[in-house]
Structure 1
Amino acid sequence: MPHLTLEFTRNLSGFDAQEALLHMNKAIFGSGHFDEVDIKSRAIPIDCFVIGTSPENRGFIHARLAIMSNRPPAVRQALSTMLLQELSGLVPEHPGLHVQICVEIIEIERDTYSKNVLEAS
């Protein structure tokens, strides 16, 4: 824990999802709330999407960070703000394209989360 999922529309040319994941993992680790080896992230490019009702040029990036429950609201807010700033700095300019960047922090119930670590031999 935590799990970071980054969804982004493919029309964001020049956006390097692999680089974004690495930067965001470093920021998450730098927050001091998580062990480095426990941060798992993935990026999902979106081909089919609609934003609003207009056919205008639009795109988005949505980061969802799933963390164990019972973290104080101030910690969750700080993580959200930090990730939004980090992500905003990684998106190349796209003149004529309306881009929305969002971060969502969700909680996973500790009582129902299971994990097993298999060490390399």
Structure 2
Amino acid sequence: MLSDIEIAQGTALKPIKEIASRLRIPEDQLEPYGHYKAKLPLSLIDPEKMRGKKLILVSAISPTPAGEGKTTISIGLSEGLNRIGKQTTVVLREPSLGPVFGIKGGAPEADMHR
């Protein structure tokens, strides 16, 4: 079984411009931060298009002993919904730092282990 860091390092990131194109977001609406992330203006949210849609907010969860928490649940939920034909997008404020630092607990805990 691969470790978190091996999985993270073996994954090819897609450029944010490619992701934006798939979501039909005009390139001039992106405020890029490098090649893989960007901020989007709130003006892209059309209240009329949002009618009848669902927002699932994963705001707090007690991690499992294996370390699955908000990020894992959010991505797993999105992948599951996509698999049954629902179109979903995940927006993470700050993804898990476990694969980056090889530990769980995010930035505060990472700082404690330096």
Q: Is the structural similarity TM-score above 0.5?
A: no
Q: 1 or 2, which has the higher helix percentage?
A: 2
TM-score class, shorter-chain normalisation, is: under 0.3
Structure number with the higher strand fraction is 1
Higher RCO, 1 vs 2 (CA within 8 Å, ≥6 residues apart): 1
TM normalised by structure 2 equals 0.25
